Structure 1
Amino acid sequence: MSGAVAVHHGAFGRTALYELDRPFVMHAHREGHLIFYVSGRPAGVQVVDRVNPIDDTRGVAVSPWEPHNFDREPFGEATLCLVMYIKPMWFLENCQSAECVLDFGSPVVPVTDEVRRWIMRLTALLLNQQDSDLLDGYLFEMTRICYELSWSRTNGRTPLGRRRARFNDFRVRRSLRLMQENFTEEIAMDRLARDVGLSRPHFFKLFKKQMGITPNLYLNTLRAEQAITELLTTEKSITDIGHDLGFSSQASFTRFFATNVGIPPSEYRRVAHQN
């Protein structure tokens, strides 16, 4: 069964060591996401429609809102992964450059000697399971290096140019606001499409073109984010958290959380902490 060795939250976002022995469902995050192999059985991460290996020589970078899933056979030795979820605004503020839009140029990150050293340092800090003033600086340097590596072979493309296409349509922006206001309730997609002045097929096509994911995946992201926040910051029972997010039972909420986050909510609450 997949589990967490350590989970740490901070101003940067969150970082974790996960032992994973089964695939996820396709999902997305508002953060930039980095995944590196530490030990165990090598695996892969599907980003959009391509599976990218994670092993001793390659890691994976996933841009905000890019659909992806952990991909491996559900048997054999677990894969110990170092994962990072980096908030784009935190990266931009620490980078102090308008060019540091957290959008990776390629999903493949070569594990250079420098990257390997940062993997080892971050893994050691997380295994120590103590708050450290070093963590933010380590995470920034790791993200900066991976960001630069991801753009090193992209023939002059820039993250700013690629980002301009998103969020331009006012109907998509309105649908985002409506979902953010009502994600704890059952949302009928036909009604949502009508509320923004579109047919359901046109709405889904436009939303995916602008966001890179479907409205359903966006809703799943909102619910997973809220679940993580409540597990970390409240003493509410897992049953109550699931009920407040619209799930009919603790079992259905646990399945949702495990397939979107990677581990059961009880396990996440047990190991997670923040500065």
Structure 2
Amino acid sequence: MSNALRVAQGTFGRVALLDMDRPLVRHAHPHCHVLLKVEGADTKFWVRDDLVPLTSESAVLVNAWESHAYAHDPRRPPTIILALYIEPRWLAEFRPNWTASGRPGFFAEAVGTITPRIRALADTMARTMVSEPEAQHLHEILLSDLMIAVIERFTPWRDSAVSLRDLGRGLSVDRRIRAVAARIDEDPGAVGHIDDLITATTVSRAQFYRLFEASFGVSPRVYLNAARLERAVRAVSDSDASLSVIGESLGFSVPSHFSRFFHDHAGSSPSVFRAVTRCTRDLETPR
């Protein structure tokens, strides 16, 4: 079963070292998302409608709110993947126009050939997460070097800084759709059905879906699931609430449904994810 080997979290977002032997459902993240193979079989991801390879020589590059899915082949051995979920505000500390990493089009292509430096940095990051899980400051230094190398390799930030700044100013979102997104972000567990959101906007169902996807690039259901996942990750990592209580707060009346949702979106069971993050936190706490 796929599970997290290590998870590092901070102002940068999070980095997960995942041992993957099963597919993930189509989903999205509000992050700049980079996937690098560390060990095991070559594999593939769906990014929007393209099936792209993840190998020792290539990275999969997913823009914020870009739908994607892991397409594991059950006939092949597992793959250890370094999955980076990076906050645009953290990247903006390096270059102001890197705030555009939170918008569509930051990565022009969904896959690219990595440099020997990116390969070495990814391997070092993965090894350090395993051997020194408590070294949060070192993790952030290594991640800084890795993300700078990735962005310099795969985005035209030097040549098109003005267009990236324009992109970073955001998209024009219909006020009704903005209100719906704010409602989801505030309490994703309180959203029972998408139809309830549609009713509140006074627009037709077809228009609602059209406006929502034009604004965020994903369907309302994918957006809602992303909000649920981010809330779940924080609760599983930081709170002492039982997994059943966390699941219920997010709208899952059956604990197994919450566990399946978490595993299908995060690549790990919530219990293992909690154990890994708790282990790291305990190591960081002075005795």
Instruction: Give the TM-score taking structure 1 as reference length.
Output: 0.92
Give the Cα separation in 1 of the matches to 2:31 and 2:6. Answer: 19
1:134 deviates by 2.2
- Runs of 4+, deviation exceeding 6 Å: none
Q: Which amino acid aligns with 1:187?
A: G
Per-residue deviation, residues 115-134 of structure 1 (Å, max 9, x unmatched) = 11111210121111222422
Indicate yes or no: 2:175 matched with 1:170.
Answer: yes
Of 223, 248, 251, the match for 1:218: 223
Match of 2:135? 131
Helix, strand or coil for the counterpart of 1:243? helix
Query: What amino acid does structure 1 have at the position aligned with 2:223?
Result: Y
Shift of 1:212: 0.7
Alignment of 1:48-87 (within 5 A): 48-87=48-87
CA contact (8 A) 1:37 1:56 kept: yes
- Give the structure 1 partner of residue 34 of structure 2: 34
Same amino acid, percent of matched pairs? 29
| Unpaired runs of at least 5, structure 2 | none
Kept in 2, the 8 Å contact 1:7–1:16? The answer is yes
Of 216, 241, 244, the residue aligned with 2:246 is 241
1:1-275 pair list within 5 angstroms: 1-93=1-93, 95-102=94-101, 103-128=106-131, 129-152=133-156, 158-162=163-167, 166-272=171-277, 273=280
- Amino acid corresponding to residue 180 of structure 1 in structure 2: D
Q: Which one-letter code corresponds to 1:23 in the other structure?
A: P
In the alignment, structure 1 segments of 5+ residues that lack a partner are none
| CA spacing shift, 1:159–1:67, aligned 2, 3 Å | farther
Counterpart secondary structure, 2:108: coil
Cα distance, 1:99 vs structure 2: 4.9
What does the per-residue CA deviation read over 1:11-31, in whole Å, with 9 as the maximum and x for residues that have no partner?
A: 111112111011100011111
Mark the CA change 1:160 to 1:97 in structure 2 (over 3 Å): closer, same or farther: closer
Moved more, 73-82 or 263-272: 73-82
Q: Given that residues 28 and 217 in structure 1 are in contact (C-alpha distance below 8 angstroms), is that contact kept between their aligned partners in structure 2?
A: yes
Query: Structure 1's 167 and 253: CA in aligned 2 closer, same or farther, altered over 3 A?
Result: farther
Kindly state the Cα deviation for residue 241 of structure 1 after the two structures are TM-superposed.
Answer: 0.9
Shift of 1:162: 4.7
Q: Distance in 1 between matches of 2:194 and 2:239?
A: 31
Residue deviations 1:129-167, cap 9 Å, x none? Answer: 2224222122122112212222259x9694445556734
Higher helix share: 2
Greater CA deviation, 160-169 or 227-236?
160-169
CA distance in 2, matches of 1:51, 1:159: 26
Distance in 2 (alpha carbons) for counterparts of 1:243 and 1:100: 34
Residues matched between the structures, number:
274
Return the letter of the residue paired with 1:25: V
